[in-house]
Amino acid sequence: MQSQKTQQHVRGRNRGAGLRRIKGERSQAYPAAKNKVITVRFGELWLRGKNRGAYINMLRSNLIRLMAGERFALEYGYDRFIIRPGSDSGLEAIKGGLSHLFGISSYEIGYATEPSLARISRLAREVLLGAGIREGEKLRINAHRTYKGLSFNSMDITREVISIAESMGIDPQIRDYGREIFINVTKDSAYVSMERIKGLGGLPVGTSGKGVVLLSGGIDSPVAAWYAMKRGIKPVYVHFHGFPNAGEAIASKVPRIVSILSAYSPGSRVYYVPSHLFQAGTLKSGRFELILLKAFMLRVAELVAKSEDAEAIFTGESLGQVASQTASNMLAEQYGLKMQILRPLVGFDKQEIINKAMAIGTYEESIKPYRDVCSINARNPATRTDVATIARLIKDERIQGLARRSLKASTIVDSQQGGRETPHPPG
């Protein structure tokens, strides 16, 4: 409200004054692109009280890992990071990294100067020229002071920038504006930007511990993995394949999906678990076969979670999406498990999941053909399952033993950013 008053006041005072047109300057890039500065703002981190330090450290190390190979300087100031790219090409890579970083509310690409009214005004003028703003365009001025010990306040800044804008033929507005200029003043610097980008929000990956994600290669489970990461979970993937050995699964679309997800959480570990021991070891349980298969998968996931020190298991199930995904089946498949099972997509429509998969970048891979273990099983699954029946079947089928043996027969693939380690057995 304050700045609204200021703008009205200044506009009133200048009303009728002839507007100076600055011609011929606009094609030049003011100021030099190489001096760009990126301001990264934390979001929810502020809610974290005494854990704040740990959250910021995790965010910082995720940021550094996402930008591996790029030269840049990183400062931590009050409620934000300040990044200075080492080169123009580095700027693009850093923007790419920031667009995949959980735990930030927004980032601005702009320039820095000394925190004085004269310097800020000069820089604001250069930034407006450099942004290619045209005469008559409507501009909102968004000035903010983090440090209150300076001799001027945000109203003074707004007033200055309004008169600069008007002298350039730009129309300062509070509502119905087309462009926006952001001015932020701290104790040591002032930042001016016309490019504010919304961050992914959420929490820095790793701050909520590890989670085992059951990853099928379909559309849903990569999206579930993304939502787990969004809440600070570092994923460990478990994939069940129907091949005689892991080679074919390791050469399939599954690692490509993992690699896309790794843009949000650098480095990954995937357990490729064979399903043939389960297939050979179970009696023909007919309509319950799919539930038993899920019970088997969840048991393997629980064993992995224990050895990885993970705190929960994530699946891409969504209530009622297919005949087998009913609440009673979900309860039955987790019979006897102690580990928490989280299903981030439970309230999503299929189309919403598809849209999200497209935005994340996994959709194109997910729809490619693949021999999924679930499709080998019963076509007419039970939709209402009585837990007692499943309890008896789970005991009869010696599922726990099959899970242990299958995990032993699995292959682990670790990938660091930009390279893959040799597959190895567990233990």
Rule CB under 6 A: which residues touch ligand ATP? 214-216, 218-221, 238-240, 297, 315-317, 321-322, 372-374
Q: CB under 5 A: which stretch of 18-26, 202-210, 214-222, 347-355 binds Mg ion?
A: 214-222
**Minimum Å distance from CB 340 to ligand ATP?**
15
**Binding partner of 219, given Mg ion, ligand ATP, none, CB within 5-8 angstroms per partner class:** ligand ATP
The kind and range of the H/E element at 427 are: none
- Residue 234 or residue 239: which is nearer to ligand ATP going by CB? 239
DSSP codes joined into one string, 174-189: SSS-SEEEEEEE-SS-
List 140's β-bridge partners, or say none.
180
**Minimum Å distance from CB 344 to ligand ATP?**
10
Q: Is the dihedral of CA 191, 15, 178, 89 positive or negative?
A: negative
- Residue 339 or residue 373: which is nearer to ligand ATP going by CB? 373
**Binding partner of 214, given Mg ion, ligand ATP, none, CB within 5-8 angstroms per partner class:** ligand ATP
Residue ranges of E strands in 275-386: 312-314, 341-342
- Conformation bin of residue 176: beta by default, left when phi > 0, alpha when psi is -120 to 50: left
Beta sheet of 80-85, edge-to-edge order: 72-77, 80-85, 37-42, 104-113, 190-201, 179-185, 138-145, 171-172
**Minimum Å distance from CB 290 to ligand ATP?**
7
Secondary structure class of 387 (helix, strand, coil):
helix
Size of the site for Mg ion (CB under 5 A): 2
Tokens representing 69 are 């190979």
Q: What is the dihedral of CA 55, 60, 65, 71, to 10 degrees?
A: 180
Q: Is residue 216 part of the contact set for Mg ion (CB under 5 A)? A: yes
Secondary structure class of 19 (helix, strand, coil):
coil
Q: Is residue 381 part of the contact set for Mg ion (CB under 5 A)? A: no
**Minimum Å distance from CB 236 to ligand ATP?**
12
Q: Is residue 268 part of the contact set for Mg ion (CB under 5 A)? A: no
The kind and range of the H/E element at 274 are: strand 268-274
Q: CB under 5 A: which stretch of 72-80, 81-89, 215-223, 259-267 binds Mg ion?
A: 215-223
**Minimum Å distance from CB 339 to Mg ion?**
21
**Minimum Å distance from CB 140 to ligand ATP?**
43
**Minimum Å distance from CB 322 to Mg ion?**
9
The single residue listed with the structure tokens 């010696």 is: 398
- Residue 66 or residue 238: which is nearer to ligand ATP going by CB? 238
List 237's β-bridge partners, or say none.
213, 270
> Exactly one of 218, 222, 255, 344 binds Mg ion (CB under 5 A); which one?
218
Contact residues: Mg ion, CB under 5 A: 216, 218
